[in-house]
Homo-oligomer: A and B are copies of this chain.
Amino acid sequence: MNPFEKLPIDKQKRIVDASISEFADRDYETASMNKVVERAGIAKGSLFNYFKTKGSLYYHIYHLAIGEVKSYLRKVRDETAGLPFEDRLAKIVDSGVQFISDHPRLARIYFRLIYSADSPDRQKIVSELQKLSDDYLGEIIQDAMDRGEVDSKLNKTQTVFYLDAVLNRFLKEYHESSNGNQFDRDEWVKGITTFFIKGLR
């Protein structure tokens, strides 16, 4: 049993919280272990006792973030299992927006990881995430094809790619503009769904 898990829960929480904030504010290379201990109110030696390296702390936090993302995806997939493609798509976008509102710092870490360059094992992590997304969207596309809502002769890889590109970009834009000028969420959701319905049938 590693030393971190033996800690009182509230202390664990303080450390995790400080780490999330730091990795959300700065990218991996520039994030500072000194700042983490400062934020968490513990000594540097302690942090390196719980996590041997900066990389292993990052690994811990990143898995936490991915876990949350996964559970959101699973939830929306199951809740919309019977719905038509159009409604399903709208729900996916909505739940993405919801996730960003609920976990802005985790969303930041997620986008940093996807789009930025230098985290340890970046390539591995990104392709793991890509597979997750591909499987998820692939399943939904397949359902829509089976129901005849989407042209089943389409190249599935490409179709998933378009969906992933537009959805991710939309959420990223939403995330970045989340302070200040909001854009009309409903209109965008409607626009995106009709665009795909037409483009894929």
Contacts and interface: CB of A to CB of B under 8 A. Distances in A.
A94 to B, nearest CB: 17
Contact of A27 (B117, B159, B192): B117
A166 B173 CA distance: 14
A29 B192 CA distance: 36
A196 B118 CA distance: 33
Interface in A143-196: 155, 158-159, 161-162, 164-166, 168-170, 173, 187-188, 191-192, 195-196
Interface residues of A, number: 31
For the complex formed by this chain, how many copies does it contain in all? 2
A197 B58 CA distance: 43
A115 B173 CA distance: 11
A198 interface: yes
A158 B118 contact: no
The prevalent SS among residues of A at the interface is helix
Contacts of A117: 27, 112, 116
B158 A27 contact: no
Given A27-B29, A198-B199, 18 more contacts: A26-B118, A27-B27, A27-B118, A29-B30, A115-B116, A155-B191, A158-B188, A158-B191, A159-B195, A161-B173, A162-B192, A165-B166, A165-B169, A166-B166, A168-B169, A198-B200, A198-B201, A199-B200
Interface of A: 26-27, 29-30, 112, 115-118, 155, 158-159, 161-162, 164-166, 168-170, 173, 187-188, 191-192, 195-196, 198-201
